[in-house]
Structure 1
Amino acid sequence: MTRQDRFEAIYDAYYPAIHQYAARRTGSPDDTADIISETFLTAWRRIRDVPEGERALLWLYGVARRVLANQRRGATRRSELADRLRDELAAERPVTPVDLDHVRAAFEALPERDREVLALACWEELTGEEIAEVVGCTAIAARTRLHRARKRLAALLVREPSSTIAMGEA
């Protein structure tokens, strides 16, 4: 049996069980789909490690469990970033309450490249040199990207909430 044949047999046999496992543990069809795809991608990459017979399902459940845990950690990091941004803004401007939805909208209105460096700096707490290694540029370029991304985020945050949302839709 070829690698592809074995994977297809595992997929056909256990997709419904993994789908139900993920669906019962997530809040959206998109999250469910992400867990399923990551689980079977891991199975494809590590097909030699997948046990034979019914034990394959248990192995897949273990992979899905770890994928779900990673997904939850990511959601927690995003939430913590929003909280940290809110706290930093409140410390700088204690008289102005921060609308968390406004912060999220401003962050989402940024280009992907800006969101990436901000997330690496804030969520993963990477230095400029570490960001450079992740994104594949020089340390100076990474620090420059981060500085510019912070300036663009700050500019979006000083705007009225409705104008930030309009920018993200444009």
Structure 2
Amino acid sequence: MDDDWLARFEAVYRETYHQITAYAVRRCDSPQDAADVVAETFTIAWRRVSELPPGQEARLWLYGVARKVLAGHRRSADRRRRRSVELDTEMADLYGSSPDNGVELSVIAQVFGSLSDDDRELLSLVAWEGLGREEIATMLGLSRNAVRVRLHRARRRFSRALDEAGVRSTTESRMVPAGRSL
């Protein structure tokens, strides 16, 4: 990238940063989401600096990019919400959500949501995706033993958090899909 392109990007960034940020903030649920949209918008602008139109058209071009980035973030959030609903249902099934034990799906979802991202990911890969240790190890670039240890610890933390929330698990309600052994 030559100096002219760098100067062009810097000028467009300075001129439009606050406008693009305000655009994202007004459309996002959280400041963090807005920051992600802005960062991704300017990353795309950086990669495509040679395509930046001149003058005020650059601002409009960036609005278009931000709009597409925002749409992508919304699609991702919708997918996460749908997966979460499916996983919540799976968790309720795993922990025997029946009328006689009074387990509330919302409590399980809340407890699951309170886990670290890494714990949720591991437990989701097992319970929702139905992956075994070997598959998870390959996917995450870890040894099978490291996955075994991390999964054991994640299950233990989840079980402890469920106990603290008043949800009692049974020996049959382990985080292993039917027919799988880990």
Could you state the TM-score of these two structures normalised by the residue count of structure 2? 0.65
Letter in 2 for 1:115: R
Kindly tell me: are residues 131 and 38 of structure 1, through their superposed partners in 2, closer, same or farther at Cα, counting changes over 3 Å?
A: farther
CA contact (8 A) 1:22 1:64 kept: yes
CA contact (8 A) 1:118 1:150 kept: yes
Letter in 1 for 2:45: A
RMSD: 3.5
Letter in 2 for 1:17: Q
CA displacement, residues 62-117 of structure 1 (integer Å, 9 cap, x when unaligned): 2212221222223223322332232123333223332425523434333x432344
The correspondence of residues 113-132 of structure 1 with structure 2, limited to 5 A, is 113-118=118-123, 132=137
Q: CA deviation at 1:12?
A: 1.2
Alpha-carbon distance in 1 for matches of 2:120, 2:63: 32
CA contact (8 A) 1:35 1:67 kept: yes
Kindly tell me: are residues 161 and 2 of structure 1, through their superposed partners in 2, closer, same or farther at Cα, counting changes over 3 Å?
A: farther
Give the greater-gyration-radius structure (CA): 2
Determine which of 135, 138, 141 is the counterpart of 2:140: 135
SS of residue in 1 equivalent to 2:53: coil
The correspondence of residues 74-113 of structure 1 with structure 2, limited to 5 A, is 74-91=76-93, 92-95=96-99, 96-100=102-106, 102-110=108-116, 112-113=117-118
What is the number of residues matched between the two proteins? 160
Determine which of 22, 35, 38 is the counterpart of 2:37: 35
CA contact (8 A) 2:24 2:34 kept: yes
Alpha-carbon distance in 2 for matches of 1:46, 1:81: 33
Determine which of 134, 147, 159 is the counterpart of 2:163: 159
Determine which of 55, 58, 61 is the counterpart of 1:59: 61
Which residue of structure 2 lines up, in the alignment, with residue 11 of structure 1? 13
Aligned-pair identity in percent equals 38
Could you state the TM-score of these two structures normalised by the residue count of structure 1? 0.68
Letter in 1 for 2:55: G
Structure number with higher helix proportion: 1
Alpha-carbon distance in 2 for matches of 1:38, 1:69: 12
Kindly tell me: are residues 67 and 156 of structure 1, through their superposed partners in 2, closer, same or farther at Cα, counting changes over 3 Å?
A: farther
- The answer for unaligned runs of 5 or more in structure 1 is 164-170
